[in-house]
Amino acid sequence: MKSLKILFFLSLIIWIWNFQTEAQEYREQIRALDEYIQEAIQLWQPPGLAITIVKDQELLFQKGYGTRLIGQDLPVNEHTLFVCASTTKAFTAAALAMLVDEGKVDWDDKVIDHLPHFRLSDPYITSELTVRDLLTHRSGMGNADFLWTFMDLSPDTILYKMRQLEPAYSLRAGYIYQNIMYLAAGEVVEKASGIPWGTFLKERIYEPLGMSETYAFKSQTAGQDNKSEAHEWIKGEIIRIEQSEADSIGPAGSMWSSVSDMSKWIRFLLDSARINGQTLIQPDSYSELFTPQHLIPAQSFYPSCLLTRPHWTSYGLGWFQHDYRGKMVQFHTGSLSGMVAILGMIPEEGIGVYIMANLDHVEIRHALMYAVFDLLLEGEITRDWSRELKALYDRRAAESAAAKPKRIENTTPAVEIGKNLGTYTNPIYGKVTLSEVDGTYRLNVNDKLKGSLEHWNYDTYLVAFDKKTYGERFVTFSYNPSGKVKALELMGREFQYLLQGDK
């Protein structure tokens, strides 16, 4: 008996020593990571950033940096609200997984069986499109973001207009990122459950997980003080821009949350969709969320893969996927004008990280995600992801600037622009109005975007939008044989001139 007691105490001492050693290692790792994050912020310059890290169900690190609004003393903390943007998609997929468990939906159900009025221009795609297809960006439809970014439409109208768009490729024969299909997925959630998508998330995910700082729509964050503002680089200066929102395509990217709440979401996902011993998504449906569904060509994946060099890249159900250091990474970015997010996990190692920042497309998010992976897999940050990715994105930006069309000097338009005033229409994309205001020619796109024109060359003009985040775009006029204006082209879309007498 005495020897057993001695053995027990020796085992206890060894366990305590190992625990303290491991804790000390984690403390040193976190100290190094904190310093690395601060250096990365200096390099990338987001006004504010928040991060949370989970390892083996423990909250390893959580912190806010900087300010919610540039030039103001409004500190970011772990409870500051940022937009989740497209990291919302994983919630929509999880909602459908719950309905699959209940037998109300099957991944391979035809969409029209749940949404009888759903139509696309191609009858075959309409009849064969499945719930799984809605979540995997392989519907055959091209990018349709013009419908919610440049138009002020209801969700039902956006879905209706999809029947007017021609397919970009055959069903399941390609990959083009498609937000509107996630809007349709949210409609399936509503039809199958009997409650709206946002209410479903609140009752079935937010509340069970204790996510009291998470909102399905931007409109629900009204009155919240601890909320970040959006920023963008404009002509060499970081400025505050108007806060964009994606409420009209909610299931694709409208959520707002804090890293404090997102740490609960990560722990839930890493614990096989369990909370307090209760399973909210059954094992088969949970596994399906993270199973590769569709291979993504490397050229369509993130530029960061030029550094990570994955052997394969794929998309699950609301998750981008690739291999890293022999492990399977599940991640998703989120971007709306002036704000970014990223959620990255290595489930087999119990690793999860969520990062939010308030500067447009600031890729510090990828840099910190891989730094965290290195730290927790290798015990140290093995390469300077921040500087390497900054150099990569700076080089791509320079290449993009160099590829911008060169202005041809000393050209004149075929017709003086003042003769082109009026309204131009497109049956899918609405109307564009050209007018003269105090000697300046103004373009109005669907009463949502306005900007001023200046002559570029020949019959092409450069429009600088008032909303700086949309930058500058080219507008080209075309004419009929009699020299009368026929149409204008904006962002690859043609708008036909509406004769004054026909208005």
DSSP for 378-417, please give it: HSS--S-HHHHHHHHHHHHHHHHHHTSPPPPTT---SS-G
Q: pTM to 2 decimals? A: 0.93
Task: Give a yes or no: residue 111 inside a domain.
Answer: yes
pLDDT band at 24 (very low <50, low <70, confident <90, very high): low
pLDDT band at 501 (very low <50, low <70, confident <90, very high): very low
d(CA 43, CA 34): 14
Chosen domain end from 346, 374, 400: 400
Residues 89 and 50 in one domain: yes
pLDDT digits (tens, 9 = 90+) for 378-421: 999 999 999 999 999 999 999 998 998 999 999 999 999 999 99
19 pLDDT band, cuts 50/70/90, is very low
Same structural domain, 342 and 465:
no
32 falls in which pLDDT band (50, 70, 90)?
A: very high
Mean pLDDT, the chain, integer = 94
- If asked whether residues 284 and 432 sit together in one domain, one would say no
Find all residues with CB under 8 Å of 57, minimum gap 6, and list them: 267, 270, 271, 350
The residue whose two tokens read 């013009």 is 146
CATH number at residue 282: 3.40.710.10
Q: Tell whether 148 and 221 lie within a shared domain.
A: yes
260: pLDDT strictly greater than 80: yes
Last residue of a domain, one of 359, 374, 400: 400
Q: Based on the domain organization, do 463 and 355 belong to the same domain?
A: no
Domain membership of residue 405 (yes or no) is no
Domain end marker among 400, 435, 466: 400
Per-residue pLDDT of 303-348, as tens digits, reads: 999 999 999 999 999 999 999 999 999 999 999 999 999 999 999 9
Task: Say yes or no: 196 and 244 in one domain.
Answer: yes
Confidence check: pLDDT of 223 > 50: yes
In a domain, 498, yes or no: yes
Return the percentage of the chain with pLDDT > 70, whole number. Answer: 94
Distances (CA, A) of 288 to 318, 319, 326: 11, 11, 21
Q: Check whether residue 252 and residue 278 sit in a common domain.
A: yes
- pLDDT (average), residues 184-192: 98
HSE of 200 in the Cβ direction (CA atoms, 13 Å)?
24
**What one-character DSSP code corresponds to residue 203?**
I
Question: How far lies 338's CA from each of 68, 437, 445, in Å?
Answer: 12, 29, 21
Task: Give SS3 for 136.
Answer: coil
- Co-location of 396 and 428 in the same domain: no
8 in a domain, yes or no?
A: no
Distance CA 127, CA 173 (A): 16
Q: Are 177 and 137 in contact (CB under 8 A)?
A: yes
Q: Which pLDDT does position 299 carry in this prediction?
A: 84
Residues 62 and 128 reside in one and the same domain: yes
410 is a domain residue: no
CATH number at residue 426: 2.40.128.50
Per DSSP, the three-state class of 150 is coil
Residues 303 and 377 in one domain: yes
pLDDT confidence of 300, banded at 50, 70, 90? confident
- Angle at alpha carbon of residue 71, lines to 39 and 80, rounded to 5°: 70
Residue 409 lies in a domain: no
Same domain, residue pair 119 and 244: yes
* Domain total of the chain: 2
**Which has the closest alpha carbon to 88: 225, 218, 273, 242?**
218
* Biggest distance spanned by C-alpha atoms of the chain: 109
8 pLDDT more than 70: no
Q: What is the pLDDT of residues 79-138, one digit of tens each?
A: 999 999 999 999 999 999 999 999 999 999 999 999 999 999 999 999 999 999 999 999
Q: Is 185 within 8 Å of 135 (Cβ atoms)? A: yes
Residue 311 lies in a domain: yes
**Digit-coded pLDDT (tens) for 346-361:** 999 999 999 999 999 9
Structure tokens at 337: 């004008």
Structural domain boundaries enclosing 484? 417-502
Q: Is residue 129 part of a domain?
A: yes
Name the pLDDT band for 187 (thresholds 50, 70, 90): very high
The answer to whether 190 and 196 have CB atoms below 8 angstroms apart is yes
Please check whether residues 379 and 440 belong to one and the same domain: no
What is the pLDDT, as a whole number, of residue 13?
Answer: 55
